[in-house]
């Protein structure tokens, strides 16, 4: 008779305790090995079968994964380390200092190169997994020295992350920034891959309780990520012709210098992010032009892609020629990073950090970034602005008017650049503005004028505007065609295009197309439409709410009579995605 649990699901899984026994490791080492190798616990489809009839929930792994783990040479390193620790302990307790010193000199070390290569066979694979790596490394670099984490790991993280920031600055790869209450989100584009990083605010270290986070586990992750990030940095630096251990021009410090202070000073200068690095070869400028492929629906998309590329090009040299001075109360590192990765120049008070290039008294400074209500001595030659201006400029991909961001001014809201709306969603006016600016190259002022010109098309998005233009052009064309080559030349009559009729025709066409939908897809289509309608309704409700809120705020401001109404500026564009649904629908069908 066939025995139970000898085939299928039951043989696919192995419990953690069994795995420990098989690999002859303790739990601590096993977890470490799993993290380093990228082996994860799995949830079985049928737990009862996978656990051979037992019903309590156990942590399961694939048998094959564990078998693969058993071939890992790192296990022997773990064992070496165990023996080393045992010897150390004996020597320490005997007070045998000579042996302790000798043992310490021959402490076993591990290399994780082969694991990086194994988990990421190609460089692109590694880039795909960079989010986690960078976020953790950035966090570890800010840890205080007296935590449980080994101090050299913290300094290694700091070094690697600074190197990465230098790469982003050199490659001008920063795309989006968002300041949230948790930390600052950066989106960076490396070889076409978006990489999102979360970096904590530069505040004091917040200790966590043991029940929240297990530092030992996180340190294992960071161990692997440092190796990975080092190799990625090496490759990235060489891809843009930079010397890899980053070198500052003009300053020479030997690598094997014994003077620790000098090395530290040099490292600080590198961490200042304020000067470009030494290149290998004089860089040859490449102009990548988007290849044009003729495609059926491609024209519009191509256009869009082109516009996007142009906008990014603009973003890369957004702060070119601008000279910033950073106040002491502003988070220096993030601000310098943002300025420098958009080609600006920055300096600060030399008392807060090394590497300041010019003084506050420099007359050529164009912007001073200040985050306090007032400044005693102000220069007329420069704008005093709040740091949000920089971040908003990057998200909007253009230099915004500085008036809203003046010192002490009530700032406009900081909008997330990461939101993507679906059709029919409510889009707040600020966000609409951002979207429009990202897409096109119209300044808000210009747009205002446009609005005034054609108020009739007030509530239509840009895309529809384009279509309208096309529609407008069509009748003129037809006019030309209609001029027959008759015997007599009659005075032409202007035939007004039957807009209403055309619209109705369109609607009818649309209805027909709706009818043509296959039965198979009909239900899906209906549910989609239903959802969209509900979203539209919700959007309308929110819009009304917003209007009311603004009105109230205006009244309040009037009553308090303080400054101009901010919201008025933002409510230029009462566009919404609701109106262009009709056209979109047609496209879809």
Partner 1 sequence: MATSTLGAAWLVDESDKLNKKKQKRIVKHKKKAWRVTSNVEDVERFLESKRLDERLGAPLEERPSDSFFVVDTKTEADKPLKRELTKKRKIKEIGPLRCYAILTPNSAVIDPLKKRNRVRLPEERGDPLLRKVMEERRAKGKIPTRFLQSMKHHQENVEALAKKKKPERLRTTFDFDLWGDAGDSLMIGDKKVSALDLSDQLKTYTMEKMGNRIYSRPPTMFFKTTGLKPVEYPHPGTSYNPTFQDHQALLKEAYNLETKEMKEEVRTRRRLGPMLKKIPVQRKEEQWWSEMTQGLADEEEPAKEEEEEVPCIRPTKPKTRKQKIRAKALKWQDMRRKKLKEAKKRLLEFDRLRSIRREIRKSEELTAKRIEIRKKEKEAKMFKPAMLGRHKYEPPPIEVNLSEEITGTLRGLKTEGHVLIDRFKSMQRRNIIEPRVRQTVVFKYKHKVFTKRSHSEPKGLKVGNRNKDKTPVQ
Q: Name residues contacting partner 1, limited to 520-559 (CB under 8 A).
A: 542, 545-546, 549
Length of the chain: 589
Nearest CA among 227, 224, 216, 230 for reference residue 39: 224
Does 109 bind partner 1 (CB under 8 A)? Our answer is yes
From the CB of 156, what's the least distance to partner 1, in Å?
6
Q: Which residue is listed with tokens 């966090």?
A: 139
Nearer to partner 1 by C-beta: 114 or 306?
114
User: According to the binding rule CB under 8 A, does residue 518 interact with partner 1?
Assistant: no
Site membership for partner 1, residue 388 (CB under 8 A): yes
**Which member of 9, 18, 20, 62 binds partner 1 (CB under 8 A)?**
62
Site for partner 1 in 158-177 (CB under 8 A): none
Q: Collapsing DSSP states into helix, strand and coil, what is residue 406? A: strand
Pick between residue 240 and residue 589 the one whose CB is nearest to partner 1: 240
Q: How far apart are CA 222 and CA 317, in angstroms?
A: 34
Gap between the Cα atoms of 267 and 250, Å rounded? 14
Residue 58 binds to partner 1 (criterion: CB under 8 A): yes
**Which residues, numbered 135-154, are part of the site for partner 1 (CB under 8 A)?**
135-136, 139, 150, 152-153
Q: Are 174 and 109 in contact (CB under 8 A)?
A: no
Near partner 1 by CB under 8 A: residue from 21, 97, 182, 469: 182
Residue 556 token pair: 């309040």
Nearer to partner 1, 72 or 464 (CB): 72
Round to whole Å and give the CA distance between 419 and 305. Answer: 19
Could you say which of 185, 353, 396, 405 contacts partner 1 (CB under 8 A)?
A: 185
Q: How far is CA 316 from CA 283, 295, 433, in A?
A: 17, 29, 21
User: CB of 30: closest distance to partner 1 in angstroms?
Assistant: 12
- Total residues contacting partner 1 (rule CB under 8 A)? 103
CA 551 to chain centre: 35
Residue range at the interface with partner 1 (CB under 8 A); choices 35-43, 314-322, 358-366, 499-507: 35-43
Contact positions with partner 1 (CB under 8 A) in 459-488: none
Residue 222 or 464: the one with the smaller Cβ distance to partner 1 is 222
Q: Can you tell me the distance from the alpha carbon of 114 to that of 491, in angstroms, rounded to the nearest whole number? A: 84
Does residue 106 touch partner 1 according to CB under 8 A?
yes
Q: Does 454 bind partner 1 (CB under 8 A)?
A: no
Q: Is 418 in the site for partner 1 (CB under 8 A)?
A: yes
Residue 210: phi and psi, rounded to 5, are -65, -25
The smaller minimum CB distance to partner 1, of residues 306 and 549, is found at 549
- The correct pick among 9, 20, 123, 448 for binding partner 1 (CB under 8 A) is 123
Joined together, the tokens standing for residue 240 give 């843009």
Among 88-96, 190-198, 349-357, 578-586, which window interacts with partner 1 (CB under 8 A)? Answer: 190-198
Please tell me whether residue 59 binds partner 1 under the rule CB under 8 A.
yes
Residue 206 binding partner 1, by CB under 8 A = yes
How would you class 371 by CB atoms within 10 Å of its CB: exposed for 0-12, middle for 13-18, buried for 19 or more?
middle
CB of 114 to partner 1, least distance (A): 5
Per-residue b or e along 288-305, where b marks 16 or more CB atoms closer than 10 Å to that residue's CB? eeeeeeeeeeeeeebeee
b/e 1-27 (16+ beta carbons within 10 angstroms → b):
eeeeeeeebbebbbbbeebbeebebee
> Among residues 17 and 309, whose Cβ is nearest to partner 1?
17
Q: Does residue 235 touch partner 1 according to CB under 8 A? A: yes
> Under rule CB under 8 A, which residues in 289-348 are in contact with partner 1?
329-331
Tell which residue, 198, 157, 196, has the closest CA to residue 174. Answer: 196
42 SS3 class: strand
Q: Is 461 exposed, middle or buried (0-12, 13-18, 19+ CB in 10 A)?
A: buried
> Using the rule CB under 8 A, is 97 a contact of partner 1?
no
Q: Which is nearer to partner 1, 99 or 200 (CB)?
A: 200
Dihedral of CA atoms 85, 86, 91, 95 in degrees, nearest 10, equals 80
Of residues 36 through 55, those in contact with partner 1 by CB under 8 A are: 38-43
Q: How far is the CB of 300 from partner 1 (least distance, A)?
A: 26
Residue 20 binding partner 1, by CB under 8 A: no
């Amino acid at each position: 008779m066939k025995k139970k649990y000898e085939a299928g699901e039951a043989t696919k899984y192995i419990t953690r305790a069994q795995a420990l026994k098989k690999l002859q490791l303790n739990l601590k080492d096993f977890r470490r090995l799993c993290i380093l190798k990228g082996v994860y616990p799995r949830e079985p489809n049928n737990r009862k079968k996978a656990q051979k009839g037992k019903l309590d929930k156990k942590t399961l792994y694939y048998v094959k994964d564990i078998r693969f783990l058993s071939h890992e040479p790192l296990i022997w390193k773990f064992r070496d380390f165990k023996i080393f620790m045992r010897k150390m302990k004996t020597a320490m307790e005997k007070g045998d200092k000579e042996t302790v010193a000798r043992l310490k000199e021959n402490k076993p070390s591990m290399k994780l190169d082969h694991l990086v290569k194994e988990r990421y066979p190609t460089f692109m694979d590694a880039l795909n997994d960079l989010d986690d790596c960078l976020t953790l490394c950035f966090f570890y670099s800010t840890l205080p020295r007296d935590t449980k984490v080994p101090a050299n790991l913290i300094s290694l993280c700091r070094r690697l992350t600074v190197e990465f920031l230098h790469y982003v600055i050199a490659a001008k790869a920063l795309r989006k920034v968002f300041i949230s209450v948790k930390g600052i989100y950066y989106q960076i584009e490396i070889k076409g891959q978006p990489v999102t990083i979360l970096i904590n605010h530069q505040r004091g270290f917040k200790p966590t309780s043991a029940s929240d986070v297990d530092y030992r586990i996180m340190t294992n992750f960071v161990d692997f990520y440092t190796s990975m990030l080092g190799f990625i940095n090496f490759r990235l630096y060489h891809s843009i012709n930079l010397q890899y251990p980053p070198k500052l021009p003009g300053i020479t410090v030997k690598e094997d210098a014994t003077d620790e202070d000098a090395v530290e000073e040099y490292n600080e200068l590198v961490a200042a992010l304020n000067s470009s690095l030494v290149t290998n070869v004089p860089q040859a400028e490449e102009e990548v032009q988007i290849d044009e492929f003729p495609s059926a629906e491609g024209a519009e998309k191509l256009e869009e892609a082109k516009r996007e590329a142009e906008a990014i090009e603009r973003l890369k040299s957004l702060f070119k020629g601008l000279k910033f001075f950073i106040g002491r109360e502003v988070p220096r590192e993030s601000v310098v990073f943002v300025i420098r990765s958009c080609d600006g120049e920055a300096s600060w008070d030399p008392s807060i950090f090394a590497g300041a290039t010019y003084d506050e008294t420099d007359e050529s400074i164009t912007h001073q970034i200040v985050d306090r209500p007032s400044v005693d001595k102000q220069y007329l030659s420069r704008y005093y602005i709040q740091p949000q201006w920089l971040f908003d400029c990057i998200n909007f991909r253009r230099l915004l008017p500085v008036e809203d961001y003046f010192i002490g001014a009530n700032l406009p809201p900081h909008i997330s650049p990461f939101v993507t709306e679906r059709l029919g969603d409510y889009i707040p006016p600020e966000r609409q503005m951002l979207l429009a600016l990202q897409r096109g190259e119209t300044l808000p002022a210009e747009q205002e004028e446009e609005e005034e010109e054609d108020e009739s098309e007030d509530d239509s998005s840009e895309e529809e505007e384009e279509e309208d233009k096309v529609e407008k052009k069509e009748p003129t064309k037809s006019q030309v065609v209609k001029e027959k080559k008759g015997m007599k030349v009659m005075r032409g009559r202007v035939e007004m295009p039957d807009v209403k009729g055309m619209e109705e025709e369109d609607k009818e066409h649309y209805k027909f197309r709706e009818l043509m939908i296959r039965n198979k897809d009909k239900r899906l289509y209906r549910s989609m439409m239903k959802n969209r309608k509900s979203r539209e309704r919700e959007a309308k409700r929110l819009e009304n709410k917003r209007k009311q809120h603004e009105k109230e705020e205006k009244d309040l401001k009037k009553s308090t009579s303080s400054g101009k109404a901010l919201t008025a500026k933002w409510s230029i564009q009462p566009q919404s995605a609701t109106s262009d649904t009709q056209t979109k629908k047609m496209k879809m069908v």
